[in-house]
Amino acid sequence: MRKILYSLAACLALAALVSCEETRGMDAEILNSEDYMLEVNGRIVQGFTESQCQMIFNASRKEFCVGDDKMTEYYTLVCNKVPAAKGETLNVNLSWTMSGSVQSREGLRFTVEKIGDDGRIWLWDAKDGIAAIVCKPVN
């Protein structure tokens, strides 16, 4: 009987460990990056240096867009509010190009991880594993 109870306890402990959802933070490489990028599930799907991209911010639509000069490669975030402080949470609709087609995700929940003096904003959605760097012009 004791052996069965130990086995049952071990199974319950294992089930509890397996069912715990791991929440990882934003990758330090992205958090320290000077480039603009979009990472989805640990894979950078768009990446631009400042000299090779266009950064668009539309305050009235609360929309950020980062793309190449022809806007054939880009990512766009439409937010429920303009990010103003680290730790703030935003509801976001995201779209980006990948292999010639447009991908999108709606209803994402990003946290502001960092805001640079230059207006650069690092955003992280822990649930969906999405990181984005956008820019709001400094007034």
Instruction: Break the chain into its structural domains and give their ranges.
Output: 24-135
Work out the end-to-end distance of the chain between its first and last CA atoms, rounded to an integer number of angstroms.
72
Share of the chain above pLDDT 90, in %: 68
Q: How confident is the model at residue 28 (pLDDT cuts 50, 70, 90)?
A: confident
Beta strands 120-125; 89-98: pairing state: unpaired
Mean pLDDT of 78-84: 96
Confidence (pLDDT) at 95:
98
Q: How confident is the model at residue 73 (pLDDT cuts 50, 70, 90)?
A: very high
- Give strand pairing partners of 101: 98
Q: How confident is the model at residue 15 (pLDDT cuts 50, 70, 90)?
A: very low
Assign 3-class secondary structure to 32-71. Answer: CCCCEEEEECCEEEEEECHHHCEEEEECCCCEEEEECCCC
Confidence (pLDDT) at 24:
67
This model's pTM is above 0.95: no
Per-chain mean pLDDT for the chain: 85
Confidence (pLDDT) at 117:
92
* Residues 23, 28, 32: CA angle, nearest 5 degrees: 140
